[in-house]
Structure 1
Amino acid sequence: MLRSSLHSAEIAAVALCAAVGLPEGAPDWVHLLPAGEIRTGDGRGPYRVPDAARLATASLGAGERLPIDENHATDLAAPRGEPAPARGWIVELQARADGVWGRVEWTEDGRHLVASRAYRGISPAIQHAADGTVTAILRASLVNRPNLRGLTTLHQETEMNPLLEKLLAALGLPATTAEDAALAAVTTLHAEKAKSLTALQAALDPIAVALGLQAGIDAGAVLTGAQALATGKGGKDSEQALTALQSELATVTKSLNSLQETTKREKAEAYVDGAIKAGRVGVKPLRDRYIAMHMADPAGTAELIAGLPVLGGGGEIVPPPAPAGEIALQAEQRQAARLLGIAEKDYLATLKAERQA
């Protein structure tokens, strides 16, 4: 197996960091590897993480910890007999939508280094196959010259861009949605708006013609013509024109309602099918029900589905990320608890006590 020490990517320029308030202290969770294909600034790779859940399980067994040092001292300084003290310990790994995250128990020195912003990035040391597939995360380092693209920097983990936060809320998307997914949602929204405007104009044209106006005029002009007809300024044929207009309006209303229903269904089907593709447990058997729920309440249904566990590539069920600072049992730990005849909550309490000892 080949071993390679990689550096995390610069997510924001200095000017951007100066413009966005940076949180105090050291983050409990750090972004170790992005999902999918990983690009680097120096041309190495690309590397791939085809299954983040499987990688997290393979990298950190029950009770194990991965060290965080400075500037890859374990790999570079220690072989020369120089010190390579740990500045923190990764005690938990989670597979999330944007890759693998690690929960860190910082040492006193490590917490001070991060809180004082002596370092701005986390650089993982990985084990990978010849084809670039990442097979394990070995450890990580505090660094200042990042190279890996797609990681969240130390001082971005707890401070979300206010504009992005408002945008996600307006779109009805979870706060954990990645920027590219938010951009895709905006693009889809624009496409749907254009489609709706085209359909609306197509519906207005027959009304305009019925009013004796030209096709292609805007809604304001159609309204003016209708008001003139209603006040009797349309001439002796106004009564017949009004009857024709009412008929056209009934047809248009039916068409618009059908269009809105179709648009809602297309969005719901896309979201639910995406959740099925992502391995969300229990969604596929209830696909039609989730689609109907999403059509009625998109935000509520998205929140419900996001809370469902994910079926990993190896068949293990990966629970949704636990809130910061909490411990979530991994698949092997839940299986061990069942074999031992111990309730999961009791096993979880034991793990918490061991980590606090």
Structure 2
Amino acid sequence: MDAIQDTSLLTRAALLAALTPAQPGGDASVAAGRIQLFPAGAFAARDGRPGNLKGVSAKEWRLTPEDAEALLARWRQRATPVVIDYEHQTHLSRQNGQPAPAAGWITALEATPEGLFASVEWTDKARAHIRAGEYRFISPTFSFDRHSGAVLELHSAALTNNPALDGMSAAQAKTHTQEDKHMDKLLALLRTLLGLPDTADEAQCAEALSLLSASVSGETTQTAAASRHLPQQNLIALLQSKDAALTTAQAELACAKAAPPDPGKYVAMTTFQAVQQEAAQLRAKLADMEGAAAVAALSGEIEAALKDGRLAASAKPWADGLAKSNPDILREFLKSTPPVAALKGTQTGGKEPDSTPGTASLTAEEEYARAQLGLTAEEYAKHKEAV
């Protein structure tokens, strides 16, 4: 790649870009303790650079993953760390004769999908400026390819309040560890509980806790008396009300355990089981009674059917069981069954058994079956022999 190099200040200023992100410090989207030097992809300054620079055909600067890797390779070859100054004074010192003190030193570079980031070791003075909000932005100076716009090498960076590029992260005063994040969450919780504003720092939270402790322990010192006017008294009242409610609930629970259960609301398990068993027995007895009543109600019809030949004597137990389980079906059967004369009264209808040679006497069941089939005695006998 073709990087333009010129020792004159004006030409150098045309080729070295001073970019500054436009967001305030403390952006949670970027890990604390890092600064963003370049965004990823194509970007340009608000004043039109690099498209308005003489001798430059590129309309935008560019930082692709390949560009970033090449820049990191050049960075690793450096023995001297890259300085962060104030307002690019490192490059203006020869012109204005003013000193160019360092605000910090870049200790590491990292390429991410969002752009190029750096870890910084700040001076105490620079850290104080950043914490006080006196400086908020980072501006890198770098060389680039005048045709493609690819960023080639990082030369320095500066703290400034005049950003040229919007949308990047801002300077952080210190590196936030995981422990610092836990402390931030704890401070936020303490501010809420103590009724302090969101701007209260660790010292203010500690002072409020001290006053709260004095109030709870019943001290009568001037500090404890002054604490009665602080918002944390709301917390004390809340805690006391919760304690009272808990004491009341515990007392009610103890009384409930000591007192016997209300018989109007509760029943012993043994009593409940005994009632269940008794109810089952009563249901069984009721079923038997209903079955006996059904048999008794149909007994007259069963006897009449036995007499007129609608039922064989051997079918009586079946008729008695059906009368108990389903009396309606038995009634329908007796109504639809025609009488069999041979089954009336006795098996022979009150006559002596037939002794005619060649004629076989039929039993009551056989006579019933013969009548149902509509066969004569001789036909039934022949059918029986054939079977």
- Normalised to the residue count of structure 1, the TM-score between the two structures is 0.38
Structure with larger Rg: 2
Q: Which one has more relative contact order, counting CA pairs under 8 Å at least 6 apart?
A: 1
